[in-house]
Structure 1
């Protein structure tokens, strides 16, 4: 199973269309996970044309997105448990706020966004993963998103980096 993980698309403000590097992966996706800051519901509608869509809301999302998606979700694909949250809020770091959302759940994988900074590290048995942003890299060298691959008894997640959103 191929799952594309995105966050902080901020569309259409930061891009009018999906970057070609991202779209090529979306075309082969079995599912898509969005960790918030879509900006408009139209982006969710467009992503849902590629594959089943799971997502959470972020701090810049319009009201229709908040009606459609939760702030925090838990997903299960086979034996893999996934927590998803945007990670916005006050105090602490983005990572700490995300971990606090799931402190009693201990998912295998915790996906979050907000900072636009790609992260992949293991903390107390949970892989923390921020895909970065495919449209708003801010001070990062490259744009990015995540590619989660799940087979019967194992899984892996990696960043996909690219230089141009056009």
Structure 2
């Protein structure tokens, strides 16, 4: 599981870490206990693919511009793209809750954006 922040508390981060297959970063509403348990940005290497994780918060630029600035040297030298999975717990002004399933193999990247209502 990859999580891009705004957890409901440090207990959630601890629970996700206990699964053994978790990488995440903190978001703009996370408190100090969460910020002490995960980084603000991460760069993963999975099956030869580099995946940058960034919550997207900041000022002065759009979220895609901030993400690009954070990872331009690591991810955009050859080919890179950005995926925003939305939120499985807070749909904000969106019509549905959402999350992203990302499958990586040596030959292809398969991404599915899943939408749902509880």
TM over 0.5: yes
- Once residues 159 and 45 of structure 1 are traced to their aligned partners in structure 2, the CA distance between those partners, rounded to angstroms, is 26
Any stretches of 5+ residues in structure 1 without a counterpart?
1-31, 109-123
Relative distance call for 1:56 and 1:131 in structure 2 (3 A) is: same
Identify the residue that residue 24 of structure 2 maps to in structure 1: 55
SS across alignment from 1:69:
coil
The answer to whether the 8 A contact 1:39-1:60 is kept is: no
2:93 is aligned with 1:139: yes
Cα root mean square deviation, aligned: 1.8
Higher relative contact order (CA 8 A, sep 6+): 1
The answer to whether the 8 A contact 2:6-2:27 is kept is: yes
Any stretches of 5+ residues in structure 2 without a counterpart?
none
**Normalised TM-score (structure 2):** 0.89
- Once residues 19 and 99 of structure 2 are traced to their aligned partners in structure 1, the CA distance between those partners, rounded to angstroms, is 16
2:83 pairs, out of 121, 129, 150, with 129
- 1:107 is displaced (CA, Å) by 5.3
- Once residues 55 and 9 of structure 2 are traced to their aligned partners in structure 1, the CA distance between those partners, rounded to angstroms, is 15
Give the strand-richer structure, 1 or 2: 1
- Once residues 40 and 151 of structure 1 are traced to their aligned partners in structure 2, the CA distance between those partners, rounded to angstroms, is 33
Count matched residues. 118
SS across alignment from 1:70:
coil
Identify the residue that residue 78 of structure 1 maps to in structure 2: 47
